[in-house]
A and B are shown apart, each in its own frame.
Chain A
Amino acid sequence: MALNFADLEKVYEDLARTLDRLSPSEREVFLCKLSLLMARDLGDLSRVQAMIQTAQNHLEKV
Chain B
Amino acid sequence: MGREDDSLRPAGKGAHESLYFTYPAFTAPDRAHVLEHEGCRVAIVGAGPVGMFAALTLARFGIASVLFDNKDTFNDGSRAICVQRSSYQALERAGAVQPFIEKAYGWTMGRTFYRGKQILEFEMPHSNSEKYLPMYNIQQQFIEQYLWDAVAASPLIEARWCSEVTGIEDTESGVRLSVQDSNGRYQCAAEWVLAADGARSAIRSMRGLRLKGDNFPGRYVIADVQMDHTYPTIRRALFDSKSNPDKTILIHRQPDNIWRIDYQMPDGQSEEEAFSEDNIRDNVGRILRDIDYQGAWELEWWSIYSANTLALDDYRDGRVIFIGDSAHIVPIFGVRGLNNGLADAENAGWKLARVLKGLSDERLMDSYSPERRGATLDVFENATKSARFMTPPTRGWTLMRDAALSLALDHEWAGAFANPRQMEPFTYTDGGAVLPHMETAGSVKPGAVLPNERLSVDTYLSDLLGNGFSLLVLAEKDPAGLDDLKASLQSLDPDFECITSGHIRARFGAANLSRLHERLGTQPGATLLIRPDGYLAGAWPTCVADVIVAQVTAAFGRKETHRWL
Contact = CB atoms under 8 A, between A and B. Distances in A.
B397 A20 contact: yes
Given A57-B406, A62-B116, A16 B400 contact: yes
B272 to A, nearest CB: 29
Contacts, number: 47
Nearest to A19: B396
Interface residues of A, number: 22
Given A5-B416, A9-B417, A12-B404, A18 B396 contact: yes
Contacts of B388: 16
Interface of A is mostly: helix
B36 interface: no
Interface of B is mostly: helix
A52 to B, nearest CB: 14
B409 interface: yes
Contacts of A8: 413
A16 B399 CA distance: 7
A25 interface: no
A19 B388 CA distance: 14
A51 to B, nearest CB: 11
Q: How large is the interface on B (under 10, 10 to 19, 20 to 34, 35 or more residues)?
A: 20 to 34
Contact of B399 (A9, A19, A59): A19
A9 B4 CA distance: 40
B410 A57 contact: yes
B122 to A, nearest CB: 13
Contacts of B413: 2, 5, 8
Contacts of B115: 58, 62
Nearest to B389: A12
Contacts of B397: 16, 20
Interface of A: 2, 5, 8-9, 12-13, 15-21, 24, 27, 54-55, 57-59, 61-62
Which 8 pairs across A and B sit closest by C-beta, in order of nearness? A19-B396, A20-B396, A16-B396, A16-B400, A16-B397, A58-B406, A62-B115, A20-B394
Given A17-B396, A58-B410, 5 more contacts: A5-B416, A16-B397, A19-B400, A20-B394, A58-B409
